[in-house]
Amino acid sequence: MSQLEGLRVMFGAAPRKPVVVTPEAKQVHSLKRMTKADFEALKQHARDHNLVTHKWRNRRWAVLLLVNLLFTFSFWLDIQMLEGALTASRLVGFHLIDLNSALQVMLAHKHIIVNLFIGTATVFVIWALLGGRSFCSWVCPYHLLAEWFEWLHLVLVARKRVSDHEFHRGVRAVFWVVFALLAMSTGYTVFETLSPTGILSRALIYGPSLALGWVLLLLVFEVVYSRRAWCRYVCPIGLTYGMVGSISPLRIEYRLEKCFHEGDCRKVCLVPHVLDVVIKGRAAALHTPIGPDCTRCGLCVDVCPSGALVFTVKGLDRLL
């Protein structure tokens, strides 16, 4: 997937079938002939040999908890290691300012604030290197809560107690513009008041507040009505970091020759449209990097029974 196509999809457009397919990819597509029995045999082989794991999920949860607990311990133990909150902080002297928060502040003040560039430059480099929406799945505390509550939603859907309602993905770009206009027109960072990311980060560090009621309402809405609605359709943070991360050398790569199109990866993916390439006949080349809307959560890597999805660094074979 090209960078322009990845950005187009991230802003809500439907993934397009490739116009040009390499001869090597055409040959692999033509050779793939699997029955339901073949699928079951593949999955059984993966289970028998422990090929389906929770390796990347466990690593991600550990990093996310560590980062957020560092904020808490730095404040309560006064060790001055990671001060502040996710919106603005200081790591052993280095200023870190969330890119979306900095944008909201400058729009509210209606001028460029030079001091913000010190902190945002560091954060820009970090997420430009890590890529995609890595912030969402590896740092954001709301993502972790939503991931846990998603399990309850899927149980209720399976039991036909609730049904999942999808919205057009382009609505997230609309919200990005709406929050920007609200900041400019009111002189107030409206999004920061509503952001569950900021609310949870401050609650962990400084103690709970009534704003946690809003976070609970969002989680209930996602459980009973729409799966991961805030992250998929509203939050502008993911869109901001997706744009920055589109230039990253770190990505998840799809390897057509190893794929048997069993579809488990799309079932666990937070943003399944980025894995449209794994559908039979969609890959235009043998190796395809997944687009910038990917959260780099690693769930698809963990669940793939044949190793068709791997973490890679551009120019290197793979990242273990």
Q: What is the pLDDT of residue 302?
A: 93
- Average pLDDT in the 39-47 region? 65
Other residues' Cβ atoms within 10 Å of the Cβ of residue 103:
20
Element (H, E) at 313: strand 309-313
Q: What is the pLDDT of residue 201?
A: 95
8 A C-beta contact, residue 288 and residue 256: yes
Q: Tell me: the pLDDT tens digits for 264-290?
A: 899 999 899 999 999 988 888 999 999
**Whether the predicted pLDDT of 33 surpasses 90:** no
d(CA 228, CA 270): 8
Q: What is the pLDDT of residue 23?
A: 83
User: Whose CA is closest to 131, among 318, 282, 314, 317?
Assistant: 314
d(CA 239, CA 45): 38
Tell me the average pLDDT of the chain: 88
User: Whose CA is closest to 144, among 248, 299, 290, 253?
Assistant: 299
Q: What is the pLDDT of residue 3?
A: 73
**Highest mean pLDDT out of 75-79, 134-138, 241-245:** 134-138
CA–centroid distance for 138 within its chain: 8
8 A C-beta contact, residue 301 and residue 258: no
Q: Tell me: the pLDDT tens digits for 140-192?
A: 999 999 999 999 999 999 999 999 999 999 999 999 999 999 999 999 999 99
- Average pLDDT in the 37-50 region? 65
User: Whose CA is closest to 319, among 296, 303, 293, 295?
Assistant: 296
